């Protein structure tokens, strides 16, 4: 388990697992979080991002290819949104100025304080696959992951 100081990341503990599922057709990212305050999950992408009205899934499109990302059983209040790839005004000033991040979007998930597992399922929209071909994995603690714990 990775323990990160609360002063820097406003969480007391954090563990991440990433795995392919469904014959390597999908990717599951799972974060086990114990946060003393609300936190922001972030992912940078060059894709254009469209978020559903409930804020629990997004469609990423790049060069004609599409992938969906979906929050599975998100904690109450979790919402996907986007922001520009720039420093926060409260971030320390680096010794050398940042280079521009043209074309980069930051996908964020606002998360509440508490203890929970955040599962983000990435489904590339492979040609020849229908929605029934995708699997929704069960929630399994990372320490219990095995070669047979997910489809």
Interval 44-71 mean pLDDT = 96
Q: Does domain 6-87+102-126 have CATH number 2.40.30.10?
A: no
pLDDT at 108: 95
Average pLDDT over all residues of the chain: 88
Contact assessment for residue 57 and residue 63, using Cβ atoms and an 8 Å cutoff: no
Write phi, then psi, for 8 (nearest 5 degrees).
-90, -45
Residue 129: per-residue pLDDT = 86
Confidence of residue 1 (pLDDT cuts 50, 70, 90): very low
Q: Where are the domains of the chain?
A: 6-87+102-126
End-to-end Cα distance, the chain: 25
pLDDT of residue 10: 52
User: How confident is the model at residue 9, as a pLDDT?
Assistant: 54
What pTM does this model have?
Answer: 0.87
pLDDT tens per residue, range 69-116: 999 989 998 999 999 999 888 888 889 988 889 999 999 999 988 999
pLDDT reported for residue 51? 98
86 touches 102 (CB < 8 A): no
CB 5 within 8 A of CB 14: no
């Amino acid at each position: 388990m990775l323990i990160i100081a609360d002063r820097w990341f406003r969480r007391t503990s954090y563990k991440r697992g990433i795995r392919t599922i469904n014959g390597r057709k999908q990717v599951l990212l799972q974060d086990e979080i114990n946060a003393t305050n609300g936190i922001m999950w972030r992912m940078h992408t060059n894709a254009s991002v469209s978020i559903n009205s409930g804020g629990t899934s997004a469609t990423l499109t790049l060069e004609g290819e599409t992938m969906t990302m979906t929050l599975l059983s998100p904690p109450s209040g979790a919402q996907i949104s986007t922001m520009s790839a720039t420093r926060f005004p409260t971030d320390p000033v680096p010794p050398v100025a940042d280079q521009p991040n043209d074309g980069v979007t930051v996908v964020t998930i606002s998360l509440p304080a508490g203890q929970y597992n955040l599962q983000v399922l990435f489904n590339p929209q492979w040609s020849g696959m229908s929605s029934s071909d995708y699997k929704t994995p069960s929630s399994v603690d990372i320490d219990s992951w095995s070669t047979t714990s997910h489809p």
